[in-house]
Amino acid sequence: MNDKKQGIIYIIMAGFFFALMTFFVRMSGDLPTMQKAFFRNAVAAVAAVILLAKSDEGFKIKKDSWKGLFLRSFFGTTGLICNFYAVDHLAIADANILNKLSPFFAIIMSYFVLKEKANKTEWLCVVTAFIGAVFVVKPSMNVQFFNAMIGVIGGFGAGVAYTFVRKLGKQGERGPVIVMCFSVFSCIVTAPFLLVGAKPMSVYQIVMLLFAGAAATGGQLSITKAYTKAPAKEISVFDYSQVIFAALLGFVFLQQIPDYLSVIGYVIIIGSAIFKWNYNLRYEEKV
């Protein structure tokens, strides 16, 4: 099996793991969002610390990485908290597709952070994806609109975070260092809320959150492996398999059936991603 096929398999695995993460977060029940975020990141932090402890370079961090690590952690934590809130208050397929606006937000933020200029076709894809988001969000003056907008903010936070991950990668910072700093930062931010608003957890809820953390760790490791096997331009579109897995989990276990407007939104957003992916491949071939 060649590297590209392996990369596709790994990124589909990542989509499955991240869909499982949102499912387990939902199944953990009526717990505060901050409490769920803390336990999810605690598992990832432990995993990252173990990986770094076993590495040759240990916990060494590059001097010029600190600012990027802070901004990645800040926006990543914001995105994660908003995504978890959306998962608890929307159909998990809706929450996942809104989070998958992140690559389109990354195109915008790459201009400011990496000085990368998008072409007209990429901007068209961004605008089209946001039109698709309108179908999922369904603007109105009700609580569901507010919940959906929190999901959009989650996608924005993730998009900015991924932009800084790329910047850190270009600077030569190691993946486990980025994961550790993000996870520890998130735990520090969410820990104070446990002191004032934490709810007692049953064994079942603890197990669900541990599963969520394990699934998130599996997703992070899988997506990192995927991008070591093949370039992002060749395999990134398969990351949208997460939405399909989330929809299946929601339908089978939670009896969630997306309405026709949401389905239209899914098609538009994923269609924009596929068009952009195909365009990038053709553009690279011409170059």
Q: Of 36, 40, 97, which Cα lies nearest the Cα of 265?
A: 97
247: left (phi over 0), alpha (psi -120 to 50) or beta: alpha
Tell me, what's the pLDDT at 55?
A: 87
| pLDDT tens, N- to C-terminus, the chain (287 residues) | 788 889 889 989 999 999 999 999 999 999 999 999 998 899 888 988 998 899 888 899 998 999 999 999 999 999 999 999 999 999 999 999 999 998 889 889 988 988 888 889 989 999 999 999 999 999 888 899 999 999 999 999 998 998 898 888 888 888 888 888 999 999 999 999 988 888 999 999 999 999 999 999 888 788 878 877 876 667 878 889 999 999 999 999 999 999 999 999 999 999 999 998 888 778 766 65
pLDDT at residue number 122: 87
Could you tell me which of 243, 245, 253 has the C-alpha nearest to residue 208?
253
Residue 70 CB neighbours (<10 A): 14
CA–CA dist 95, 78 (Å, integer): 15
pTM comes to 0.89
Q: Where are the domains of the chain?
A: 90-172+258-287
User: CB neighbours of 184 closer than 8 A, spacing ≥ 6?
Assistant: 41, 45
H or E element at residue 160: helix 143-170
8 Å CB contact between 101 and 269 = yes
Instruction: Kindly state the DSSP code that residue 114 receives in the 8-state scheme.
Output: T
Phi and psi at residue 260, in whole multiples of 5°?
-65, -30
Q: 130 and 101 in contact (C-beta within 8 Å)?
A: yes
Contact 68, 171 (CB under 8 A): yes
